[in-house]
């Protein structure tokens, strides 16, 4: 009988194991890689403006996610009308949204303050300061938690709310009778000065100005006017504004957010913050450059003493809103506290 020593046994066992492994490998069925997570995202902005206010954050996320997740971006009214964004997000028709609370008709008490709340802010950086240092983030988060189905993630400031019109505005009286595309709360405030607020799908606004359906817009600063083509259909830009910064937020469907792995949540939030930073510099630089060098819009100004009439009216407006509920009163008190602080500090904190 032939003896098998330990070395021979191990050698044969190794060959057999390798053969078996090879057979198993060859015979194993093909396993398809997991499909990427897909979200549908709609922004309040039209396709041209959206390239600056929303797309940079979405592009950054899609690139960094490396195929693990893909967000499909849609612009104003492409999936649902802007006024139905909240309901569509709550129901899961869309997965995430960039908008102000006011325009998307969010059924929360803080919606009044989204978009442009008259004279609440003076500059874009006021918005993150109010949310992170003065407690608005907690108030917004709780408000949407009560509404159920939608998670509020982050807010940031954008451009001021000036006026670009076909007729010049050189006094407060010139506001009377103007049909202006504007935000719900801003329109409610301006109506006392004879403005006729007009609600339209975003992409129809330029044509409405061309055809005379509206006299202009009280919707943005000069950066947007030039970017989206509104400077081509209006003639004048009023340097006075009724709010120094748009308050806009990023929202997600509650269920989809809960399903997302933690590392993708962190990545998403990081990209949202990067988008905030991009908008800050894009708007800030554009507002200065286009006022100084733009050739399409003639600048007009209402004297400060006369514009103070609107500022005083805003104080009464704030008190009216504060009387509507405890939450609204709390937000208004924060605006008052903050504005008192920056008032004492001086214009741009007296850095001149």
Task: Give the domain extent around 70.
Answer: 37-160+246-295
With contact defined as beta carbons under 8 Å apart, do 246 and 268 qualify? no
3-state secondary structure at position 48:
coil
Q: Kindly state whether residue 303 falls inside one of the protein's structural domains.
A: no
Q: Kindly state whether residue 307 falls inside one of the protein's structural domains.
A: no
Q: Kindly state whether residue 114 falls inside one of the protein's structural domains.
A: yes
Give 113: exposed, middle or buried? Use CB within 10 Å, 0-12, 13-18, 19+.
Answer: buried
Per-residue tens of pLDDT for the chain, all 352 residues: 444 444 453 444 444 444 444 444 444 443 334 799 999 999 999 999 999 999 999 999 999 999 999 999 999 999 999 999 999 999 999 999 999 999 999 999 999 999 999 999 999 999 999 999 999 999 999 999 999 999 999 999 999 999 999 999 999 999 999 999 999 999 999 999 999 999 999 999 999 999 999 999 999 999 999 999 999 999 999 999 999 999 999 999 999 999 999 999 999 999 999 999 999 999 999 999 999 999 999 999 999 999 999 999 999 999 999 999 999 999 999 999 999 999 999 877 765 5
Helix (H) or strand (E) holding 154: strand 150-157
Following DSSP, what letter does each residue of 32-59 receive, concatenated? PPPPPEEEEEEESS-TTTHHHHTHHHHH
Q: Kindly state whether residue 9 falls inside one of the protein's structural domains.
A: no
CATH of the domain at 267: 3.40.190.170
The alpha carbon dihedral of 109, 113, 117, 119 has a sign of: positive
Q: If you ran DSSP here, which 8-state letter would residue 115 be given?
A: B
Q: Kindly state whether residue 98 falls inside one of the protein's structural domains.
A: yes
Q: Kindly state whether residue 324 falls inside one of the protein's structural domains.
A: no
pLDDT at 163: 98
The alpha carbon dihedral of 41, 42, 46, 52 has a sign of: negative
With contact defined as beta carbons under 8 Å apart, do 178 and 195 qualify? yes
The whole-angstrom separation of Cα 67 and Cα 224 is 33
pLDDT at 34: 73
Q: Kindly state whether residue 191 falls inside one of the protein's structural domains.
A: no
- The answer to pTM > 0.95 is no
- Phi first, then psi, for residue 195 (nearest 5°) are -70, 140
Domains in the chain: how many in total? 1
Beta strand segments in 8-148, E: 37-43, 69-74, 96-99
Looking up tokens 């209006």 gives: 234
With contact defined as beta carbons under 8 Å apart, do 242 and 190 qualify? yes
Q: Kindly state whether residue 100 falls inside one of the protein's structural domains.
A: yes
């Amino acid at each position: 009988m032939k003896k098998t020593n330990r070395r021979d046994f191990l050698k044969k066992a190794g060959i057999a194991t390798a053969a078996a492994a090879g057979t198993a490998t060859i015979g194993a069925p093909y396993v398809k890689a997991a499909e990427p997570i897909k979200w549908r995202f709609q922004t309040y902005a039209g396709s041209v403006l959206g390239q600056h206010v929303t797309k940079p954050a979405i592009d950054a996320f899609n690139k960094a996610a490396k195929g693990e997740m893909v967000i499909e971006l849609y612009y104003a009214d492409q999936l649902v009308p802007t006024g139905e964004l909240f309901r569509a997000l709550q129901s899961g028709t869309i997965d995430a949204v960039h908008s102000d609370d006011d325009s998307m008709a969010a059924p929360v008490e803080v919606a009044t303050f989204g978009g442009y709340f008259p004279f609440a802010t003076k500059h874009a950086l006021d918005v993150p300061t109010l949310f992170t240092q003065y407690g608005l983030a907690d108030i917004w988060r709780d408000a949407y938690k009560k509404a159920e189905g939608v998670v509020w993630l982050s807010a940031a400031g954008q451009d001021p709310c000036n006026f670009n019109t076909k007729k010049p505005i050189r006094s407060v009286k010139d506001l009377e009778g103007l049909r202006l595309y504007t935000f719900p709360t801003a329109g409610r405030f301006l109506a006392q000065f004879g403005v006729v607020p007009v609600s339209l799908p975003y992409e129809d606004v330029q044509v409405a100005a061309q055809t005379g359906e509206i006299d202009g817009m009280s919707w943005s600063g000069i950066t947007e006017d030039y970017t989206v083509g509104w400077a081509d259909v209006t003639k004048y830009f009023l340097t006075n504004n009724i709010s120094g910064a748009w308050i806009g937020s990023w929202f997600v469907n509650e269920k989809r957010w809960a399903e997302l792995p933690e590392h993708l949540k962190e990545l998403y939030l990081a990209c949202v913050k990067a988008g905030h930073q991009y908008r800050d510099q894009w708007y800030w630089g554009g507002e200065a450059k286009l006022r100084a060098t733009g050739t399409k819009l003639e600048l007009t100004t209402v004297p400060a003493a006369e514009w103070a009439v609107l500022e005083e009216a805003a104080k009464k407006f704030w008190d009216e809103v504060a009387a509507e509920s405890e939450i609204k009163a709390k937000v208004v008190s924060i605006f008052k506290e903050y504005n008192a602080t920056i008032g004492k500090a001086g214009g741009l904190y007296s850095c001149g």
